[in-house]
Amino acid sequence: MPSPSSVGGAPGDIKTTFMPSSQHFRLSMDVKYDTIIPPGKARIDIIAPGFLYTYWVDEQITEEMETIHLDVELPAAHDALTLRIEAQGVYNPNYGTPPFNGGFDGYAEIVVDNIVYEDVVPVREALKEELENIFPNPTSGPVYIKLPDGIRAVQTEFYSANGALLLQQSNLLSEAFDLSGLPADIYHILVVGSDGKLYWGRVVKQ
């Protein structure tokens, strides 16, 4: 990530890409902000396909560097996210001479330094244990999951490599599944056990 980084203008922005190692994380950064000409303002976006997290930097942040914390929880796993920091005015469609109407009211400036990424591990994630018995693996279709002795599956979920939920079944009498209708890929399995723990694993569909 760029550090230090500054953006200014109406509008003006910088972008950088980072790779999160968790669906729940925190970005901390030192920020100095100034609305040079009202109603100029600034925003910080975290962007992924189908996901947008926006933090509006307001006038409570002074011309001194202050630390802000952005807690982000993604609805699905993403390999890469875009961090966009933008200073902007408010768009006014009446600026200019036809056919070039449009412009911005106001001007803002934001300076960002010392960007720090850290994972936040929810209790649900902390209770996960790895599934030790998934067979056959790889598989052409049928797959069996064996939990520790005395534990039954309350709910079983299959996810694609990008985090999309594909299959969900509850209170099964059997721990056998048929993946023949799915394309060849790596799939993630999450099982809620009767002991309250989460069990996870991966299966390769050929």
Judgement on whether residues 102 and 16 belong to the same structural domain of the protein: yes
Token pair, residue 190, equals: 């999450």
Q: With a threshold of 0.75, does the pTM exceed it? A: no
- pLDDT at residue 147 above 80? yes
Judgement on whether residues 53 and 10 belong to the same structural domain of the protein: yes
CB contact at 8 A, 29 and 109: no
Among residues 119, 137, 161, the one where a domain terminates is 119
Judgement on whether residues 107 and 162 belong to the same structural domain of the protein: no
Instruction: Count structural domains, the chain.
Output: 2
- pLDDT at residue 126 above 60? no
Of 185, 187, 188, 184, the closest CA to residue 198 belongs to 188
Among residues 87, 119, 151, the one where a domain terminates is 119
Q: Residue 46 has what pLDDT?
A: 92
Judgement on whether residues 95 and 10 belong to the same structural domain of the protein: yes
Q: Residue 3 has what pLDDT?
A: 34
Instruction: Give the lowest-confidence range in 48-57, 83-92, 150-159.
Output: 83-92
Judgement on whether residues 140 and 108 belong to the same structural domain of the protein: no
Kindly state the average pLDDT of the residues 180-191.
Answer: 87
Judgement on whether residues 11 and 78 belong to the same structural domain of the protein: yes
Judgement on whether residues 178 and 150 belong to the same structural domain of the protein: yes
Which residue range forms the structural domain that includes residue 181? 127-205
- pLDDT at residue 116 above 80? yes
Read off the pLDDT band of 176 (50, 70, 90).
confident
Judgement on whether residues 42 and 107 belong to the same structural domain of the protein: yes
Judgement on whether residues 70 and 142 belong to the same structural domain of the protein: no
Judgement on whether residues 74 and 152 belong to the same structural domain of the protein: no
Judgement on whether residues 11 and 108 belong to the same structural domain of the protein: yes
E-assigned strand segments in the chain = 5-9, 12-18, 24-37, 41-48, 51-57, 66-73, 81-88, 90-92, 103-105, 107-119, 128-130, 133-135, 142-146, 153-159, 165-170, 176-178, 185-193, 198-205
Calpha distance 143→186 (Å, rounded): 13
